[in-house]
Amino acid sequence: MSMLGQVTIVGVGLIGGSLARALKAAGQAERIVGAGRSEQSLVRARQLGVVDAYDTDIGAAVRGADVVVVCVPLGAMRAVFEALRPAVGPDTVITDAGSAKGSVVSDALAVFGEIPPGLVPGHPIAGTERSGVDASFAELFRERRVILTPLPQTRRDAVETAAAMWRDTGAEVVEMSVDHHDEILAATSHLPHMLAYGLVDTLSRWEGAGEIFEFAAGGFRDFTRIASSDPVMWRDICIANRGALLYALQRYRDDLDALIGMVARGDAERIETVFRDAKSTRDRFVQRLGSGEPSGE
């Protein structure tokens, strides 16, 4: 792929800022423009050299862009599409970094009236519990996966442009359908975040909560790390993907009820079987990664 001219990133936080840094490090964009509502955040991105220019007017920021990458919470996606619609050209590639794809497609249909041929819904499976442009770094996507979910109406050259851009960050790019993406991510990402947030909230309301957290050790810290993620972003994800997430929650609840029954009966053999199977599955998962623990949502 030839070098991109202008890439406009709407939402220059952890994901958007890391994408900008990675493209700069790879030398694959002539100009990176930041856009968003917070001028303070954009000024900081410019000070850090993450973007070359910025504008709080999204329409102005996307004008002339080869690629527009929308990295905002899902609840803000439709408003961003409305702001950029009059300014993007027919050849502009529009992609995003949202964790649920069905809502992105619905928002695009509502705003554009049809699926724009240049729309390539996307989702980088990478991240940390930190947020903001100061938390961004160029290596975030290296050896991580980026899922693209193009629609039948999406131009193939637009998919190839988006895929090449993400590969330039060091990511592995895969394609799947919108529905399949949302089902998988509900189980592997959205459900764990719900459990982490829920556990911390439950314990915070127990009598003697201060003592509980005082004696919490590394296991609690590791299990609940993702509860330090951006609450607004995860609120939007839960609402946007609530159908698939409800299914995952209900399946987990059924298995949890079964585990409660084992504990109530003192069924040591069944409990150990569950633990051994879980350990074996996780050990294989970590071994496949080849580099220790994953980062990501």
Span of 58-67, 87-96, 224-233 with lowest mean pLDDT: 224-233
Q: Give the pLDDT score at 128.
A: 80
Query: Which uninterrupted H or E stretch holds 178?
Result: helix 178-185
Tokens for 277? 């199977």
| Residue pair 127/297 in contact by the 8 Å Cβ criterion | yes
Averaged pLDDT, 4-18: 96
Give the integer Cα–Cα distance in Å for 189 and 266. 32
Neighbours of 291 (CB within 10 A): 7
CB proximity list for 261: less than 8 A, separation 6 or greater: 267
Residue 79 reports pLDDT greater than 60: yes
pLDDT at 137: 95
Task: Could you please state the CATH topology (level 3) that the domain comprising 181-289 is classified under.
Answer: 6-phosphogluconate dehydrogenase C-terminal fold (1.10.3660)
Tell whether the model's pLDDT for residue 264 goes beyond 60.
yes
Long-range contacts (CB closer than 8 Å, 24 or more residues apart) made by 220-223: 223/196, 223/199
CATH architecture of 4-176: 3-Layer(aba) Sandwich (3.40)
Which residue carries 């493209």 as its tokens? 23
- Indicate the range of 86-90, 175-179, 286-290 predicted with least confidence: 286-290
pLDDT band at residue 110, thresholds of 50, 70 and 90? Answer: very high
The pLDDT of residue 292: 45
Residue 294, pLDDT above cutoff 50 = no
User: pLDDT band for position 73 (50/70/90)?
Assistant: very high
pLDDT at 2: 65
d(CA 258, CA 4): 54
**Residue matched to tokens 């949890």:** 256
195-213 pLDDT, tens per residue? 999 999 999 998 877 888 8
Model confidence at 218, in pLDDT bands (50, 70, 90)? confident
Amino acid letter, 73: P
Beta carbons of 142 and 116 less than 8 angstroms apart? no
CA distance from start to end of the chain: 29
Residues 6+ apart with CB under 8 A from 138: 18, 21, 22, 24, 25, 169
CA distance 122 to 124: 7
Q: For residue 177, report the phi and psi dihedrals to the nearest 5 degrees.
A: -75, 160
Is the pLDDT confidence value at 53 over 90?
yes
pTM above 0.85, yes or no: yes
DSSP letters, 103-122, are HHHHHHHHHHSS--TTEE-E
* Structure tokens, 14: 């952890």
**Domain boundaries in the chain?**
4-176, 181-289
Instruction: Tell me what the pLDDT averaged over the chain comes to.
Output: 93
pLDDT digits (tens, 9 = 90+) for 125-173: 998 878 899 999 999 999 999 999 999 999 999 999 999 999 999 999 9
- Whether residue 291 is predicted with pLDDT greater than 60 in this model: the reply is no
pLDDT tens, position by position, 25-42: 999 899 999 999 889 999
